[in-house]
Amino acid sequence: MWKPGPGDHRSATWPRIEAMAKSEGIVMRREPGSLTPYTRPAQAATIYAAEIASKNGDEALVDGFHSRLYRAYWEDSENLGDHSILERLMTESGLDWAEFAPRLETGLYDGIMQQQHDEAMMIGLNGVPSFVVEDKYGIVGAQPIEAFIEVIEKVLAERQVDLAIAD
């Protein structure tokens, strides 16, 4: 388990994040100061996974791939920017690296990733994890359940107003 050191920016939040991850079955072993990989290839791979899942009617494929990426990054400290590692993770998740690699090399998903980035910035998402509700409310960081309840209650109240106006 990580212990905060003097001047470490994670000292206030890390134990809570670590506990939340553990409750979801993720053991966070990354050490402070470890390599932060270039993750755009992994982001492109998730878009590819979503395409394949949609085409095959298999949404579990995306969830399984995300889980595999999280375990690789947080538990195994793997560099998700390394194409050989990404290839292995995709293959383990049932995705076709040979089909994906040319798409990655040509930047096929670059526009989609930029659009996702721009949309995230517009609603104030600037960290991970981030959650979007109703395409307009963002929850940034590993927040307690109360933050989600607050946003959901706000959305439900807005829907009640919309229903009243429609009547």
106 or 5, greater pLDDT = 106
In angstroms, the CA 63 to CA 5 distance is 34
22-32 pLDDT, tens digit each: 887 777 776 65
pLDDT score for 1: 34
Q: What is the mean pLDDT of residues 143-153?
A: 90
Return the DSSP state at 124.
T
Residues 118 and 130: beta-carbon distance below 8 Å: no
Name the helix (H) or strand (E) containing 112.
Answer: helix 110-122
Q: What is the mean pLDDT of the chain?
A: 84
- The amino acid at residue 154 is K
Q: What is the pTM of this model?
A: 0.71
164 or 129, greater pLDDT = 129
Is the pLDDT assigned to residue 112 strictly greater than 90?
A: yes
Would the CA dihedral through 90, 91, 96, 100 be positive or negative? positive
What is the Rg, in whole angstroms, of the alpha carbon atoms belonging to the chain? Answer: 19
